[in-house]
Structure 1
Amino acid sequence: MSAILSIEGVTVALPPGADRPHALDAVTLELRAGEILCVVGESGSGKSMTASAVMRLLPPRVGITAGRILFEGKDLATATEVEMRAIRGAGIAMIFQEPMTALNPLRPVGDQIGEMFSIHTDLSADQIRARTLALLEEVRIPDPKLAMRAYPHELSGGQRQRAMIAMALALSPRVLIADEPTTALDVTTQAQILSLIRDLQRRLGTGVLFITHDFGVVAEIADRVAVMQHGVVVEQGEAAAVLNAPQHPYTKALIAAVPPLAAPPPRPFSDEAILKLEGVSKTYRTGGFLGRNKRVTRAVRDVSLALPRGGTLGIVGESGSGKSTLARCIMRLIKPDAGAIRLDGTDLATQSPSQHRASAKRMQMVFQDPYASLNPRRRVGELVAQGPIIHGTPRNTALARAKELFALVGLDPAATDRYPHEFSGGQRQRIGIARALALEPEVLVADEPVSALDVSVQAQVLRLLAELRERLGLSIVLITHDLRVAVQVCDLVAVMKEGEVVESGPIGRVFEAPEHPYTRSLLAAVPGRGFQAAR
C-alpha cells in the first residue's frame, strides 16, 4: 500500500546554545492509509517535533534544513503559509495533548468546531450546526446539544479531548496526528479515547500518526511502531515485531520500564497506624443566583482509611472520584465538612495554630505538576530551603541541607543555584520531593507525582520513593489514576468512585481478586494489559 504521508530524511536544526544541534536528524517515516503508526520515545526524543514539522508549526528560530515531507504529491517542507493553511484541518488534522490549552476558553465548544466549516466550506449556519452536532454524537460525547453550548472548562478532560477529536475530524482529513492525546486521562477514559480513534480510523480510512511515550498504549492501538531517541529513529517495524522482539537497546530499555500489573511479594510493615481517616466527607456547592439552583458535588463521602507506619497506601480511581480532594483534606489545604483526620491519634481539625505548625512539619505533599508548584523566579535551592527557614533553621544551614537533599534524590548538589525551567520534568519532580523532605516529615502525600512523566523517568521516581521510604522510615499516601504505578510501590490500596471507597485492602489481593465491579472495570481498561501480562 502506498504512503499518504512520507517523511524523507528530514533534519530540523535547533538554535545555537541548545543541548544538541538538531531536533530531528535525517528522520524517515511513512504513513499509509488506514493504519496507525505509533511514534514512541521519551521527552526530548523528537516525537512532537516531528508532528510540528509536518504541520509546519515549528517554534521560532527552528526550521527544516534538509529532507522532504510529501503529502498528496506536495512537499510540505517548502510549502507557503497560504498553502499550509489550506492543508491544515482539511488534509492533515491534529489532536493536541492538552485540549484545555488548545481550545479557546472564551468561546463555546460548538462554535469552535463549527469554525472549521465556516473557514473551509460554504455551508449555511444551520448546516454547520447540524454537522457540528453530528460530529459530537459521532465521538460519543454525553449530551451533545449541551456540549455544543458549553465552554471548555465546563467539560471533563475526556469530554474536552472528544471535542478536540470532533474538531480534527470535521473535514474528514486523510491524515490525523494525535500528540499524546491520552497522557493525562484516567484508564477508563483513556480506553474509550483509544477505542474511539481506532474505530474512526477504520471507518474513515484515515492514516493516524499517534505520538506517545506509553508502550501500553502502543500495544493497544499500533499497526506499526517507530522508536525515536535524541531526534533519530532508532527502530521501526510492525507492532508485534517491535513489541515482542525489540532489536535496539533503547527500545528494550523503554519496554522494560513499563510497570507490570502484577503485585510484587508483600512487604512487611507495621500494624500501627500513623494516620487515620474516620468518616471524612467534603461537599462543594457552586453557582446559583441568590442561593438558588446551586450545584452540589459530594466530592468525598464518609471515607475511613488507615495508613500504617512505614507503609504506602495507594488511593486510585478515575478523574472526579475524589482522590485529590481527599489528599487536600489530609493536608488541611481544604477543611472537611465531617469526620476526623488523626495523626498519631490527634485530630488535626481540633489543633491550635501552634500545634498545626508542628504537625505540618510531620506531613508534607508532593504535587502533580512540579513546574506549577515551583516559583519560576527563585533558585531551586532556595525553594527547598524555604520550609526549614520559615520554621527557624538558619539560612546557611537550610541551604547546605538543600544540597544534601539534592544528592539524596539523585540530583547534582551544584544545581541548587539553577532555576526550575532549567530542569527536565523528572528532575523537577525530584526537586518537589526534596522540598517535601526538607522538614523531615513522617508522612508524605504524593498527588499524581508521575502522571506526566515518561515511563523510564516514572520508574526512576517510583524507585526513589520506595528507597526513601526504606531509608527514612516514611509513610506514604500515593494518589494516582494509573494502576500500574500503584502496584509498584503500594502495600495497601483504596479504590474510590464518586467520592466513596468501594474496595480496599492489600494491593495484591485487590488487584489479583477484585471484588467490586468498578475495580474490575478499572483493571480491564489498562491499555496493553495483555502485552504486559505476557512479559
Structure 2
Amino acid sequence: MSAVLSLQGLTVALPRGADRPHALREVDLELHAGEILCVVGESGSGKSMTAGAIMRLLPPGVAIEAGRILFDGRDLASASEAEMRAIRGAGIAMVFQEPMTALNPLRPIGDQIGEMFRIHTQLSKAAIEAKVLELLEEVRIPDPRQALRAYPHELSGGQRQRAMIAMALALKPRVLICDEPTTALDVTTQAQILSLIRDLQQRLGTAVLFITHDFGVVAEIADRVAVMQHGLVVEQGAARDVLERPRHDYTKALIAAVPPLTAPPARAIAEEAILRIEHVSKTYRSGGFLGRKRRVTRAVRDVSLLLPKGGTLGIVGESGSGKSTLARCIMRLVKPEAGAIRLGNTDFATLSKSELRASAKRMQMVFQDPYGSLNPRRRAGELVAQGPMIHGMPREQAMARARELFALVGLDPAGVERYPHEFSGGQRQRIGIARALALEPEVLVADEPVSALDVSVQAQVLRLLAELRTRLGLSIILITHDLRVAMQVCDLVAVMKDGEVVEHGPVARVFAAPEHPYTRALLSSVPGRASAPGQGFATS
C-alpha cells in the first residue's frame, strides 16, 4: 500500500548557537490512509518540528537542509508558499496543542471555522453556515447552534479542542496532524477527544499523524508508533510491538517512567492533622451588566478535609471540579466566603492582609506553569532569595540559601546566575519548588506541578517531591487531574465534582474499590489503562 505522506531523509537545520546543529536528522516516516501513526518522545526530540516541516511552518532561522516530504506526488520540501497555501487545510490540516492561542479571541467560533470555506470554496454564506453547523454536530459539541456564535473564552477547553478539530476537518483533508491535542485536558475530556479522533479517522479514512509524549495515549489510539530522540527516529513499528517489546533503551526508559495505575504499598503516616479544611465554600458571581443575567458559580461547596502531618493529600477531578479554586482558598489567593482553614491554631480564612503576610511563609505554593510564574527579567537565584529577603534575611545570606536550595532540588548551584528561559521545563519546575521551600514552609500546595512535563521529567519531579517530604518533614497537598500521578505519590485522595468532595480516603482503597460512580468514571477514562499489574498497556 502506497503512503499518503512520506518523509525521506528529512534533515532540518537549527540556527547557529542552538543546543545542537539539527532539529531533525535523516528522518524516514510513512503515513498510510486510514491509520494513526503516533510520534512520541520528550521535549526537544523533534516531534513538533516534524509537524512544522510537513506544514512548512518552521520558526525563523530554521530550515529544511535535505530530504523530501512527498504528498500527492509533490515534494513539499521544495514547494512554493502559494502551493503550500493551497495544501494547508485542504490536503493536510493541523490541530494544535493549545486551542486558546490558536483561535482568535475576537471572532465567534462559527466565523473562524467558516473561513476555511470562504478561502477555499465559492459557497454562499447560508451554505457555509450549514456546513459549519454540520461540522460542530460531527465533533459532538453540545448545542452547536449556540456554539456557532460563541467566542473561544465562552467554551470549555474540551469544546475549544473540538472546534479546532472541526476546523481542521472542514475540507476533508487526507492527512490530519494532531500536535499534543490532549495534553492540557482532564482525563474524561481527553478520553472523549481521543475517541472522537479515532471515530472520525475510521469513518472518513483520514490518515492521522498524532504527536504526543503520553504513552497512555499511544496505547489508546495508535496503529503504529515512531519514537524520536534528539531529532532521530530511534524505533518504529506496530503499536503493540513497541509498547510490549521495546527494543531501544530510550523507548524502554520512557515506558518505565509512566506511573503504573496501581498504588505502591501504603506508608505509615501520622494521625495528627497539620491542616484542617472545615466547611469551606467559594462562589463566583459574574455578568449582570446591561441587562444580562447574573451568573452564579458555586466553585467550592462545603468542603472539609484533613492533611496529616508529613503526609500527601491528593485532590483530583476534571476541569471545573473546583480543585484549583480550593487550592487558592487554602493559600488565601482568594478569600472563601465560609469555612475555616486551620494550620495549627491559625485560621488562614480569617487573617487580615498584614497577618497573612506574616503567616504566609508557613504555607507555600508550586504552580502549574513554571515559566509563567517566574519573572523572566530576574535571575533564578534572585527569584528563590526574594521570599527570605522580604521577611528580613540579608541579601548575601538569602543568596547563599538559594544556592543551597538549588543543590537540594538537584540543580547546579551556579545556575543562580541564569535567567528562567535558560532552563528546561523540568528545571524551571525545580526552581519553583526551591522558591517555595526558601521560607521553610510546613505545608506545600502543588497545583498540577507536572501536567506540562514529559513523562521522564515528570517522574523526576515526583521523586523529588517524595524525597523532600521525607527529608524535610513536609506535608503536601497535590492538585492533579492525572490519576496515575495521584496514585504514586499520595497517601490520601479526595475526588471533587462540581465543587464537592464526592469520595475521599486512603489512595489504595479509593482507586482499588471506588464507591462513587464519578470516581469509577474517572478511572475508566485513563488512557492506556494497564491490562495487568505492572507496566503493561492495554492497546486498542
Matches of 1:317 and 1:359, distance apart in 2:
29
The answer for the alignment partner of 2:12 in structure 1 is 12
5 Å-filtered alignment, 1:51-450, equals 51-289=51-289, 293-450=293-450
For 1:27, give the aligned amino acid.
V
Matches of 2:192 and 2:509, distance apart in 1:
27
Report the TM-score when normalising by structure 1.
0.99
Shift of 1:345: 3.1
Matches of 2:252 and 2:398, distance apart in 1:
42
Q: Does 1:527 align with 2:510?
A: no
Judged with a 3 Å threshold, the aligned counterparts in structure 2 of structure 1 residues 531 and 452 are, in CA distance, closer, same or farther, namely farther
Judged with a 3 Å threshold, the aligned counterparts in structure 2 of structure 1 residues 248 and 531 are, in CA distance, closer, same or farther, namely farther
Shift of 1:349: 2.6
TM-superposition CA deviations, 1:470-516 (whole Å, max 9, x none): 00000000000000110111000000000000000000000000000
Matches of 1:439 and 1:290, distance apart in 2:
47
Matches of 1:367 and 1:87, distance apart in 2:
40
Judged with a 3 Å threshold, the aligned counterparts in structure 2 of structure 1 residues 531 and 232 are, in CA distance, closer, same or farther, namely farther
The answer for the alignment partner of 2:468 in structure 1 is 468
Kept in 1, the 8 Å contact 2:8–2:69? The answer is yes
The answer for the alignment partner of 2:47 in structure 1 is 47
The alignment partner of 1:530 has SS state of: coil
For 2:385, give the aligned amino acid.
A
The alignment partner of 1:299 has SS state of: strand
Shift of 1:293: 1.2
Kept in 2, the 8 Å contact 1:13–1:23? The answer is yes
Runs of at least 5 residues in structure 2 that lack an aligned partner in the other structure? 536-540
Matches of 1:309 and 1:291, distance apart in 2:
50
The alignment partner of 1:12 has SS state of: strand
The alignment partner of 2:78 has SS state of: coil
Shift of 1:347: 1.3
Kept in 2, the 8 Å contact 1:313–1:493? The answer is yes
Matches of 1:532 and 1:294, distance apart in 2:
50
For 2:176, give the aligned amino acid.
L
TM-superposition CA deviations, 1:208-229 (whole Å, max 9, x none): 0000000000000000000000
The alignment partner of 2:140 has SS state of: coil
Shift of 1:531: 5.0
Matches of 1:290 and 1:113, distance apart in 2:
29
**What is the count of residue pairs matched by the alignment?**
535
Matches of 1:98 and 1:346, distance apart in 2:
40
Kept in 1, the 8 Å contact 2:261–2:530? The answer is no
Kept in 2, the 8 Å contact 1:216–1:532? The answer is no
Matches of 2:207 and 2:293, distance apart in 1:
46
Report the TM-score when normalising by structure 2.
0.98
The alignment partner of 1:181 has SS state of: coil
Matches of 2:283 and 2:353, distance apart in 1:
25
Shift of 1:354: 4.7
Shift of 1:352: 4.5
Kept in 2, the 8 Å contact 1:261–1:532? The answer is no
Matches of 2:376 and 2:450, distance apart in 1:
20
The answer for the alignment partner of 2:486 in structure 1 is 486
Shift of 1:187: 0.3
Shift of 1:533: 4.4
Kept in 2, the 8 Å contact 1:52–1:58? The answer is yes
TM-superposition CA deviations, 1:215-270 (whole Å, max 9, x none): 00000000000000000000000001000000000000000000001001110111
For 1:177, give the aligned amino acid.
I
Judged with a 3 Å threshold, the aligned counterparts in structure 2 of structure 1 residues 461 and 293 are, in CA distance, closer, same or farther, namely same
For 2:106, give the aligned amino acid.
L
Kept in 2, the 8 Å contact 1:13–1:24? The answer is yes
Kept in 1, the 8 Å contact 2:339–2:349? The answer is no
Judged with a 3 Å threshold, the aligned counterparts in structure 2 of structure 1 residues 108 and 533 are, in CA distance, closer, same or farther, namely farther
The answer for the alignment partner of 2:538 in structure 1 is none
Judged with a 3 Å threshold, the aligned counterparts in structure 2 of structure 1 residues 247 and 307 are, in CA distance, closer, same or farther, namely same
Judged with a 3 Å threshold, the aligned counterparts in structure 2 of structure 1 residues 333 and 266 are, in CA distance, closer, same or farther, namely same
Matches of 1:244 and 1:531, distance apart in 2:
12
Shift of 1:353: 4.5
Shift of 1:532: 7.0
TM-superposition CA deviations, 1:306-333 (whole Å, max 9, x none): 0000000000000000000000000000
The alignment partner of 1:118 has SS state of: helix
Shift of 1:292: 5.6
Matches of 1:62 and 1:51, distance apart in 2:
13
Matches of 1:351 and 1:73, distance apart in 2:
69
The alignment partner of 1:3 has SS state of: coil
For 1:448, give the aligned amino acid.
E
TM-superposition CA deviations, 1:39-79 (whole Å, max 9, x none): 00000000000000000000111100000000000000000
For 1:419, give the aligned amino acid.
Y
Percent identity, aligned pairs only?
82
Shift of 1:290: 6.0
The alignment partner of 2:530 has SS state of: helix
Kept in 2, the 8 Å contact 1:219–1:531? The answer is no
* 477-486 or 349-358, which deviates more: 349-358
Matches of 1:83 and 1:346, distance apart in 2:
67
Shift of 1:2: 1.2
The alignment partner of 2:271 has SS state of: coil
Shift of 1:121: 0.5
Matches of 2:136 and 2:21, distance apart in 1:
43
Judged with a 3 Å threshold, the aligned counterparts in structure 2 of structure 1 residues 136 and 57 are, in CA distance, closer, same or farther, namely same
Shift of 1:356: 2.2
Kept in 1, the 8 Å contact 2:260–2:534? The answer is no
Matches of 2:353 and 2:33, distance apart in 1:
65
Shift of 1:530: 3.2
Kept in 2, the 8 Å contact 1:260–1:532? The answer is no
For 1:328, give the aligned amino acid.
R
Kept in 1, the 8 Å contact 2:260–2:530? The answer is no
Kept in 2, the 8 Å contact 1:12–1:24? The answer is yes
Matches of 2:297 and 2:350, distance apart in 1:
25
Kept in 2, the 8 Å contact 1:275–1:342? The answer is yes
Matches of 1:390 and 1:207, distance apart in 2:
56
Matches of 2:284 and 2:207, distance apart in 1:
44
For 1:269, give the aligned amino acid.
I
Judged with a 3 Å threshold, the aligned counterparts in structure 2 of structure 1 residues 534 and 385 are, in CA distance, closer, same or farther, namely closer
Matches of 1:459 and 1:130, distance apart in 2:
47
